[in-house]
Structure 1
Amino acid sequence: WMVPEGVAEVWLVDLKLSQLHGWYTDLDRQVREGLAGFGTVFFGKGYAHPDHVPIDIARFTGQQPFPMERFLEEPPHVTFIAREDRLWFRSPLSKFLFRATHPLGLRKLLARLWVSDQDRLMRGTMKAIRREFPGVSFTVAGLGRPGGFGGLAEDLRTLQMDEATERRWCAAYGRSQFVIGLHGSNMLLPTAHAGGCIEVLPYDRYENFVQDVAVRYADVMQLFLYRFVDEFATPRQVARHALSMFRDFRTYYRNNRTNVF
């Protein structure tokens, strides 16, 4: 999964990123043995935050990204990215109470209350968007328990990840004018495929601004299509940005892509 064509072998090291700061003699031995049969070996640099614009994501996932030039021609679709370990909170008090459950040993018992409230925030956003654009459809993707959206959205959330699920998610991203979700690495693949995003950005993540977004455009279109809102933004505030992206795209695209020197 996500290995591009032309790669002959994959050496997979089953260690967490935090563990890779150490030195493992057995791993060193295996690498030396694996490289012994080659006359020349070149090492490619790995960048934590590369320029995403020139990257053809379809080489890795097999899913074509949303074509920006067809933003208004394709059926309107929005995908929400949801997870249960990092949440969209309704208020500072809600966030404080959620964090207080951890030292009290109540997180597992009570976490579902906040997850359900996050679902309510997403449903409220969907309904606000649909009041203005009745034809828009929605998908919810991410690591979490499915349920609670009825006929309002296609719910692809799951706690059991596999390649088929990941491909279904990427297909949803690829047909989305934009995705909506909370800051985190969970936004990388969605933004690499969708036309744009609206991200709920927590205060304590300002120094990581845009690190989790695979920006696809090198011109001012990125200012229009990648939007960031307060971590306690209301559904109405998030929907306001979504509606603007649908309503104002034609004018913005004409002024900044068509009528330019």
Structure 2
Amino acid sequence: MPISLKDGRNYYPSFAEFVEKETKRFEEIYVSEAYSHPSRFDITRFSRVPKHNFEEKEIKITFIWREDRLLVNRLLLRGLRKLNQGEMALPLQNLKIQQLFEKIKLQVPEAKFAVAGLGTQTKFPEWIEDYRVDSFNEKIEKEICHLYSESRLIIGLHGSNMLLPSAHAGMTIDLIDERWRNFAQDILYQESDPRMATFRYRFLPYQTSNDTLAFIAAVMVLNWSKFKSQMTADII
């Protein structure tokens, strides 16, 4: 029975009958607790892709693209969708990402930039590597996990699209719209030290200006090593 995640909380008589029928085959049944986010786990045991290596000299910053939830003004987006012209907002998102990368590059000239995610409408200039796809399968997903792993910093809009990127990348900036009640549900933390986790995983309103976002991104990339040395020094 194909049931969407949001409808999974509802009661379905046919499914209830199926479960009742199946349970009669057993004398004893155990129900395991289910955790949407285990407190401690290693993503490499799942993906078989190494996590980001901070010792690598290359600094790659990747934006996670999606075409159903956009990094544009919500009133404008609603208006365009009412007119069945929602796709007109995609070039605006593309331009905003380009401008963000340009502002980061002014502060981190050696950085390389990439975009990945679902949907291939609009084009990016050649200096931005484009790994977007029209659909995902296991092979593509695993290949893209290598890109996430290579990324010192991942930036993207809040949602399930941030799970694997946040788990493999060095650091993450999660841009949240009205979904603040779902805070951190789309992030797979790979850091046990609370201070380091606070530095590595940032949450900002999606309305944050490109100037502020670029400044924070540059601070994270340029100051990671110093912050780590100050906050994780052993006391003798």
Report the TM range for the smaller structure's normalisation. Answer: 0.7 to 0.9
Secondary structure of the structure 1 residue equivalent to 2:154: strand
Matching residue of 2:224: 249
Q: Which moved more, 1:157-166 or 1:120-129?
A: 157-166
1:29-108 alignment runs, 5 A limit: 29=18, 36=25, 42-51=30-39, 54-67=40-53, 71=54, 73-89=56-72, 94-102=73-81, 104=82, 106-107=83-84
Shift in CA distance, 131/31, structure 1 to aligned 2, threshold 3 Å: farther
Shift in CA distance, 165/27, structure 1 to aligned 2, threshold 3 Å: farther
| Distance in 2 between residues matched to 1:191 and 1:35, nearest whole Å | 42
Instruction: Decide which of 188, 193, 204 is 1:214's aligned counterpart.
Output: 188
Instruction: Decide which of 212, 217, 223 is 1:237's aligned counterpart.
Output: 212
C-alpha displacement of 1:146:
4.9
Secondary structure of the structure 2 residue equivalent to 1:47: coil
Secondary structure of the structure 2 residue equivalent to 1:101: helix
| Distance in 1 between residues matched to 2:229 and 2:41, nearest whole Å | 25
Structure 1 contact 72–246 (Cα < 8 Å) conserved: no
TM-score (norm 1): 0.79
Superimposed CA distance per residue, residues 118-173 of structure 1 (whole angstroms, 9 cap, x where no aligned partner): 11111111112222323222221111115421212221112222222211221111
Superimposed CA distance per residue, residues 179-215 of structure 1 (whole angstroms, 9 cap, x where no aligned partner): 000111111111111111112222x222222121112
Secondary structure of the structure 2 residue equivalent to 1:258: coil
Structure 2 contact 37–188 (Cα < 8 Å) conserved: no
1:167-246 alignment runs, 5 A limit: 167-202=142-177, 204-219=178-193, 220-246=195-221
Identify unmatched segments of 5+ residues in structure 1: 1-12
The amino acid that maps onto 1:200 is L
Q: Which moved more, 1:160-169 or 1:40-49?
A: 40-49
| Distance in 1 between residues matched to 2:218 and 2:148, nearest whole Å | 18
Shift in CA distance, 79/32, structure 1 to aligned 2, threshold 3 Å: farther
Structure 1 contact 147–155 (Cα < 8 Å) conserved: no
C-alpha displacement of 1:256:
0.8
Structure 1 contact 65–192 (Cα < 8 Å) conserved: yes
Matching residue of 1:8: none
Structure 2 contact 153–221 (Cα < 8 Å) conserved: no
| Distance in 1 between residues matched to 2:131 and 2:230, nearest whole Å | 37
Identify unmatched segments of 5+ residues in structure 2: none
C-alpha displacement of 1:72:
5.0
Structure 1 contact 198–241 (Cα < 8 Å) conserved: no
The amino acid that maps onto 2:47 is T
Matching residue of 2:11: 22
1:106-145 alignment runs, 5 A limit: 106-107=83-84, 110-145=85-120
| Distance in 2 between residues matched to 1:35 and 1:176, nearest whole Å | 51
C-alpha displacement of 1:112:
2.2
Shift in CA distance, 155/146, structure 1 to aligned 2, threshold 3 Å: farther
| Distance in 2 between residues matched to 1:241 and 1:172, nearest whole Å | 22
| Distance in 2 between residues matched to 1:147 and 1:260, nearest whole Å | 53
Structure 1 contact 146–156 (Cα < 8 Å) conserved: no
The amino acid that maps onto 1:61 is S
C-alpha displacement of 1:222:
1.2
| Distance in 2 between residues matched to 1:164 and 1:27, nearest whole Å | 35
